[in-house]
Structures are given as C-alpha cells and as structure tokens.
Copies of this chain bind each other. A is one copy, B any other.
Amino acid sequence: MAPRTPIQLEKVRAKSRTKIINAAIELFARKGYHATSISSIAAKAGIAKGLLYHYFKSKSELLDEILKNSLSEVDEPMQALMMPGDPVDKMALLIESTFAMVQSDIKRWKLLVSIMTQYEVLIRIRKIFSKMMQGYLEIFEHLFKEMKVPQPKLEAYRLAATIDGVMLHYIYYLPDGYPLEEIKNEIIQQYAKYRKKKK
C-alpha cells in the first residue's frame, strides 16, 4: 500500500508513453496529422483519452515530440565519414546506412514525409529538415571532390534527389515489389570508377 517507487513509476510512465507514441506514429503516417483524432490514438493505444493529456500537453505537442525523436536519428549516418579510407567506400557506406535507416522504420519516415509536405505551419521543423539536407549536400560534395568527380556540387544535388526519390517511391508508390536493393546497388556502383587504384 506504499506509493510506488520512482523506478516503478518511471517504468509505468515509459510504457504508457510508448504505447501512445507508437499509436500516434502509425495513425499520423497512415491518415495524416489532421485526419487523425485523439480518440483514435487513444483507442489504438488502448488507453483513455484523458491519459494522453497526462503525458502530452496537446495533440501538436505529441507530434512535436515524435518529430524531435525522429530527426535526432537522422544524423547517425554521418558518422561514417570520420573513418579513414577511400571516399568511394565512405560514400557507399553512407548510402547504405541511409537506406537502412528508412527501411528499418518505414512508418516514421512516412510520417516525416507527410509532415514535410504539409505545413506552412511547422516552420521550425522545416528549418531543421533544411539544415539536415544542407548537411547531406555538403558531405556529398566533399566526398565527390575527393573522388575527383567533375561538377561535385551538382552531382551532390543529383545524388540527394535520387536517394529521396527512391525513398519516396519505395514508401508510397510501389510498396510491393519495389527493387530497392538493386537500385541501391546501381547507385553505389556508378561511383566505383572513381575508386583510387592501390599501388
């Protein structure tokens, strides 16, 4: 009959929060933010409507929370660059890990894309995204320079577009049977010719 310990409480809290967030991601991604009602999130999470407001101040804060988490993951692929080695290998690794990231959590990416293509409202989010994109472009360009690709800047834009386009198609248009692996390999392959020869 004693109150729960802080650790017990934290566990309970974490469990409920997770249930809510997962339900929200699923529904936001599938039907869009506005078309998803708090009721439906609560129902899917198996909790009472009121509890949701115990954990999140509002619907929009719930979204914010999810987006913040999602975007924080995005920087991870960048780590690939710290390593020494042939830029072609680094580029390959970068592309691989980027694709892997999306493949591992399609729902989250669906949500991100749908949010990105939506709000003039969520300017803050868009800014984060823009910066991230800028980061990618710079790294691509840097590697292309190392690889002696002609027009490295333009090639960076093109690669970024190709990757996002593939993702888009993979996620939305043709979820069944999209030859993701083959295309990924193609993309990586095209830079093979820039590999430095070993002596």
Which residues from chain A sit less than 8 Å from chain B, CB to CB? 30-35, 110, 113-114, 116-121, 126, 129-130, 133, 151, 154-155, 157-158, 160-166, 168-169, 172-174, 178-179, 182-183, 186-187
Contact = CB atoms under 8 A, between A and B. Distances in A.
**Oligomer copy total:** 4
Contact of A118 (B31, B162, B169, B182): B31
B35 A133 contact: no
Contact of A119 (B32, B113, B117, B182): B32
Contacts of A163: 165
Contacts of A166: 157-158, 161, 165
Contacts of A130: 173-174
B117 A117 contact: yes
A162 B158 contact: yes
Q: Which secondary structure characterizes the binding site on chain A?
A: helix
Nearest to A129: B173
Nearest to A155: B186
Contacts of A30: 120
Nearest to A180: B157
Contacts of A173: 116, 126, 129-130, 133
A179 B154 contact: yes
B169 A31 contact: no
A32 B31 CA distance: 12
Contact of A160 (B32, B113, B165): B165
A115 to B, nearest CB: 9
A117 to B, nearest CB: 4
Nearest to A173: B133
